[in-house]
């Protein structure tokens, strides 16, 4: 089969499109014929050696995947050959930048039926990140207020939609380019962070501040002032400490997304009910994955890009 792998860490040039043996599922595993794999920034971080995730080289990137069950290992129940599935694969294992991938059966759930199967690869890790930031770490509940900084990004739009659906009052920061989409997702207040002082624009304290965007440490620390006493600050920026305010009882948490089969199943249901929108901005063939990594290094990629085998 064809796959993209890196045999050493480094720049995009270490990625090779090559022939590899078709994998065989072991006990508790499933072989999936890949329909799509989503590109994530962490894929580039792992390839470059920046993320401390213990992968075995050569490694196939692409931990968000969609496809069709092709073969079952011993002891696998609840899945059949031909089932359409999606999954957030263990990041240390080979991913979906290939024609076939081996996945633990417990990592897979039925795919949405209302969107193209390749596009469904754009859902798992980003939607799970949004959920965990809001409700697992943020412990948000109906009637509360949240400030989502960086709402115009992929995770941000999911976060806005999920929070609004839960009855949370959403205050969001976004650029003019994404503000309409953020409002459409359910934000009640949208602050243009390119022209407005966010700290001064938040009129009432929020229960939770969720940061999803790169931000200077001093700016992040200043934003904590908008959080009520006893509130929470949650961030997905793993390379920077998340500030709190011990004197006011404001706690801090950094999100590193974890697989959750039950939650992913629920998110799929929200897609099929129309409550959650999977936005894919571009689809590229597997042969172009090295070029996509190079493009990402320049910061020019917007939205979610799905990679499809030829």
Domain range holding 45? Answer: 2-123+278-308
Q: Is residue 112 part of a domain?
A: yes
Measuring CA to CA, which residue among 273, 222, 264 is closest to residue 111?
264
Confidence tier at 40 by pLDDT (50, 70, 90):
very high
Confidence tier at 299 by pLDDT (50, 70, 90):
confident
Q: Is residue 265 part of a domain?
A: no
Q: Are residues 50 and 167 in the same domain?
A: no
Q: Are residues 159 and 189 in the same domain?
A: yes
Q: Are residues 20 and 55 in the same domain?
A: yes
Identify the pLDDT of residue 310: 76
- Helices (DSSP H) in the chain: which residue ranges? 41-48, 124-131, 154-165, 176-185, 198-201, 217-223, 261-273, 289-297
Instruction: Please confirm whether the linkage preceding 203 is cis (ω < 30° from 0).
Output: no
Q: How do residues 247-292 score in pLDDT, each as one tens digit?
A: 999 999 999 999 999 999 999 999 999 999 999 999 999 999 999 9
**Total domain count for the chain?**
2
Residues 52-81: what's their mean pLDDT? 97
Identify the pLDDT of residue 193: 92
Q: Would you call 223 helix, strand, or coil by DSSP?
A: helix
Q: How do residues 107-134 score in pLDDT, each as one tens digit?
A: 999 999 999 999 999 999 999 999 999 9
Q: Is 160 in contact with 173 (CB distance < 8 Å)? A: no
Q: Are residues 82 and 162 in the same domain?
A: no
pLDDT beyond 90 at 84: yes
Q: Are residues 139 and 180 in the same domain?
A: yes
Identify the pLDDT of residue 28: 98
Q: Is 22 in contact with 100 (CB distance < 8 Å)? A: yes
Q: Is residue 262 part of a domain?
A: no
In whole angstroms, what is the distance from residue 5 CA to residue 243 CA? 37
Q: Is residue 34 part of a domain?
A: yes
Q: Is residue 267 part of a domain?
A: no
Identify the pLDDT of residue 239: 80
pLDDT beyond 90 at 26: yes
In whole angstroms, what is the distance from residue 208 CA to residue 138 CA? 6
Q: Are residues 110 and 214 in the same domain?
A: no
Q: How do residues 160-218 score in pLDDT, each as one tens digit?
A: 999 999 999 999 999 999 999 999 999 999 999 999 999 999 999 999 999 999 999 99
Identify the pLDDT of residue 241: 92
Confidence tier at 45 by pLDDT (50, 70, 90):
very high
Q: What letter would DSSP give residue 208?
A: E
Residues 233-255: what's their mean pLDDT? 95
Last residue of a domain, one of 239, 254, 269: 254
Confidence tier at 37 by pLDDT (50, 70, 90):
very high
Q: Are residues 145 and 111 in the same domain?
A: no
Confidence tier at 233 by pLDDT (50, 70, 90):
very high
Kindly report the CATH number assigned to the domain that includes residue 95: 3.90.180.10
Last residue of a domain, one of 215, 239, 254: 254
Q: Are residues 132 and 60 in the same domain?
A: no
Q: Is residue 180 part of a domain?
A: yes
Q: Are residues 132 and 110 in the same domain?
A: no
Q: E strands within 20-73? A: 29-38, 64-72
Q: Are residues 137 and 199 in the same domain?
A: yes
Q: Is residue 295 part of a domain?
A: yes
Confidence tier at 302 by pLDDT (50, 70, 90):
confident
Residues 6+ apart with CB under 8 A from 301: 39, 292, 295
Kindly report the CATH number assigned to the domain that includes residue 176: 3.40.50.720
Q: Are residues 295 and 250 in the same domain?
A: no
Q: Longest C-alpha distance within the chain, in Å? A: 59
Measuring CA to CA, which residue among 121, 118, 102 is closest to residue 26?
102
pLDDT beyond 90 at 243: yes
Residues 69-83: what's their mean pLDDT? 98
Q: Are residues 9 and 113 in the same domain?
A: yes
In whole angstroms, what is the distance from residue 284 CA to residue 301 CA? 12
Q: Is residue 44 part of a domain?
A: yes
- Report how far apart the first and last C-alpha atoms of the chain are (Å, whole number): 11
pLDDT beyond 90 at 47: yes
């Amino acid at each position: 089969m064809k796959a993209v792998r890196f045999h050493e860490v480094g720049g995009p040039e270490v990625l090779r499109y090559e022939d590899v043996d078709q994998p065989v599922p072991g006990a508790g595993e499933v072989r999936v014929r890949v329909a799509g794999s989503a590109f994530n920034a962490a894929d580039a971080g792992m390839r470059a050696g920046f993320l401390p995730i213990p992968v075995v080289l050569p490694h196939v990137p692409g931990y968000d995947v969609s496809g069709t069950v092709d073969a079952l290992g011993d002891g696998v129940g609840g899945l059949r050959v031909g089932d359409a599935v999606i999954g957030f694969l263990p990041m240390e294992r080979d991913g979906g930048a290939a024609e076939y991938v081996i996945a633990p059966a417990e990592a897979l759930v039925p795919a949405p039926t209302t969107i193209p199967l390749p596009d469904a690869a754009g859902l798992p890790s980003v939607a799970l990140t949004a959920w965990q930031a809001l409700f697992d770490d943020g412990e948000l509940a109906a009637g509360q207020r949240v400030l989502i900084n960086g709402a115009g990004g992929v995770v941000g739009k999911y976060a806005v939609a999920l929070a609004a659906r839960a009855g949370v009052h959403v205050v969001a920061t976004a650029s003019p380019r994404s503000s309409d989409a953020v409002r459409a997702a359910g934000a009640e207040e949208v602050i243009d962070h390119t022209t407005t002082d966010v700290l001064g624009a938040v009129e009432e304290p929020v229960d939770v501040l969720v940061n999803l965007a790169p931000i200077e440490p001093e700016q992040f620390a200043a934003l904590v002032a908008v959080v009520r006493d006893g509130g929470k600050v949650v961030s997905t920026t793993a390379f920077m400490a998340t500030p709190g305010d011990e004197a006011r009882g404001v706690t801090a948490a950094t999100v590193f997304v974890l697989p959750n089969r039950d939650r992913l199943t629920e998110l799929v249901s929200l897609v099929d009910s129309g409550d959650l929108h999977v936005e894919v901005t571009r689809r590229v063939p597997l042969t172009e994955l090295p070029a996509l990594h190079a493009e990402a290094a320049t910061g020019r990629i917007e939205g979610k890009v799905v990679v499809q085998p030829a």
